[in-house]
Amino acid sequence: MNLLATEIPYWGQSLLRVLGGLVAVLLPAGTIVYLFLFKMMSFMQSRLGPMEAGPYGSLQLVAEVGKWMQKEDLVPEEADHRIFKMAPLVVLLSTFLLVVVIPFGPDAWFTNFSVGIFYGLAVASVSVLGILIAGWASANKYSLLGGLRAAGQLIAYELPMVLATLGVVIQAGSMNLQEIVVTQNTGEIFGFGGLGNPFILTQFIGFLIFMIAVQAELTQAPFDMPIAESELVSGYMTEYSGFRFLIFFIAEFATAGVFALIASVLFLGGWGIPFEWFGWDSVDDVDNWMNLVGPLIMFTKMLLLTFIIMWVRFSYPRFREDQLQTFAWKFLIPVALANTAITAILKVAF
């Protein structure tokens, strides 16, 4: 965005950033819902999914949104009205705050934060607050239980996520996402720079832990205990209907997209292609067309990662509550700690 800074006044830049943020959040969300939730899940169950609205049901999402917008804005009588209405917005807000740090190209970023990933992980946990107050304000025991479960799960899985990220940060030597991308694409594997050095190769364990933690953060199956419909109706979303439910729904899949984007920045080389291909040395040498190709590369990587997230979601039954906590505290966190320690030792040694 800053390459336009000379020509466009501040309000114009802000407008562009807002529009860019909307696209970066809503486009992945829509694509994930249609491509994976509607079509891939159906195909995995040997059915076709929505076929009536538009060619191959591609306008189904528009129809669904229209349906939700028409519904009455119901608030339970005993609920804490103001908080109840606020909760979905808080959850969606954390998604929008999260997308801000992701670089989409050499100049195509919203903010170039020096502690980008730190900020990202911190804002990602704001959604816990939204979920918790949604569960509490609904004045419904199922909602409350779902909210508490979600809070417990999200806090438990935030730790392995942070620790897995730490390995990448140690190896890249920076918390700035842009620099993490550049480090990966200028990296060399034993003197061979044609592939760059995407951290998925050196931090494979970290990548696995990160993806498992993302799965849990998104409360996708097998970690969907907070909205376990067979025991909690729909958890913290039980009392929500109409467009407030729609906001929860968008937030769920937009966050999936944004986390996939972050994972592709941290582990798959982000927007970059190995700089050696075109003889670039640093991020300043990168040609301008990467600002257009970069977002496409990011989008492709995002689709690949969300494919894995959704594939796992549609294949596995859910964890029991105690198994879920045990898995995080007794397995993921020790492994992530060991990974971090080994990365640090190797970083110092070489």
Partner 1 sequence: MATEKTKSGGLFKGLGITLGILGHTIKDGANTVQYPHEKETPPIRARGVIGLHEENCTACMLCVRSCPDWCIYIEGHKQLAPPRRAGGKPRQVNHLDRFDIDYALCMYCGICVEVCPFDALFWSPEYEYSEPKIADLLHDKNKLGEWMETVPEAPELEAGAQKK
Residue closer to partner 1 by CB (options 282, 315) is 315
Determine which residue in the list 53, 83, 312, 344 makes contact with partner 1, applying CB under 8 A.
312
Q: Is residue 205 at the binding interface for partner 1, with CB under 8 A as the rule?
A: no
Name the minimum Å distance from CB 51 to partner 1.
Answer: 6
Name the minimum Å distance from CB 315 to partner 1.
Answer: 4
Name the minimum Å distance from CB 124 to partner 1.
Answer: 26
Residue closer to partner 1 by CB (options 49, 152) is 49
In angstroms, the CA 239 to CA 242 distance is 10
Residue closer to partner 1 by CB (options 6, 46) is 46
DSSP alpha helix (H) spans, the chain:
10-31, 41-44, 60-70, 81-99, 116-124, 126-137, 141-172, 177-186, 199-202, 204-217, 229-232, 242-267, 290-315, 321-326, 333-349
Determine which residue in the list 44, 62, 292, 304 makes contact with partner 1, applying CB under 8 A.
44
Q: Is residue 40 at the binding interface for partner 1, with CB under 8 A as the rule?
A: yes
Q: Is residue 59 at the binding interface for partner 1, with CB under 8 A as the rule?
A: no
Burial readout 223-260 (b: 16 or more C-beta within 10 A, e: otherwise): bbbbbbeeebbbbbbbbbeebbbbbbbbbbbbbbbbbb
Name the minimum Å distance from CB 20 to partner 1.
Answer: 33
Q: Is residue 45 at the binding interface for partner 1, with CB under 8 A as the rule?
A: yes
173: alpha, beta or left? (left if phi > 0; alpha if psi -120 to 50): left
In angstroms, the CA 97 to CA 244 distance is 19
- Of 247-255, 280-288, 310-318, 328-336, which segment contacts partner 1 by CB under 8 A? 310-318
Q: Is residue 32 at the binding interface for partner 1, with CB under 8 A as the rule?
A: no
Residue closer to partner 1 by CB (options 47, 82) is 47
Cβ neighbours of 349 (radius 10 Å): 6
Tokens 């034993």 locate to 190
Helix (H, G, I), strand (E, B) or coil at 65: helix
In angstroms, the CA 94 to CA 154 distance is 14
Per-residue tokens: 104: 């989409």
Q: Is residue 316 at the binding interface for partner 1, with CB under 8 A as the rule?
A: yes
Determine which residue in the list 96, 118, 311, 329 makes contact with partner 1, applying CB under 8 A.
311
User: Could you tell me if 88 and 247 are in contact, meaning their C-beta atoms sit under 8 angstroms apart?
Assistant: yes
- Of 39-47, 224-232, 271-279, 319-327, which segment contacts partner 1 by CB under 8 A? 39-47
Q: Is residue 42 at the binding interface for partner 1, with CB under 8 A as the rule?
A: yes
User: Could you tell me if 165 and 121 are in contact, meaning their C-beta atoms sit under 8 angstroms apart?
Assistant: yes
Q: Is residue 282 at the binding interface for partner 1, with CB under 8 A as the rule?
A: no
Name the minimum Å distance from CB 319 to partner 1.
Answer: 13
* Start-to-end CA span in the chain (Å): 37
Q: Is residue 46 at the binding interface for partner 1, with CB under 8 A as the rule?
A: yes
Residue closer to partner 1 by CB (options 86, 335) is 335
Residue closer to partner 1 by CB (options 18, 44) is 44
Q: Is residue 326 at the binding interface for partner 1, with CB under 8 A as the rule?
A: no
Cβ neighbours of 209 (radius 10 Å): 24
Q: Is residue 314 at the binding interface for partner 1, with CB under 8 A as the rule?
A: yes
Residue closer to partner 1 by CB (options 119, 319) is 319
In angstroms, the CA 62 to CA 241 distance is 17
Residue closer to partner 1 by CB (options 312, 344) is 312
Per-residue tokens: 306: 């969300």
Residues at the site binding partner 1, with contacts judged by CB under 8 A: 40, 42-48, 51, 311-312, 314-316
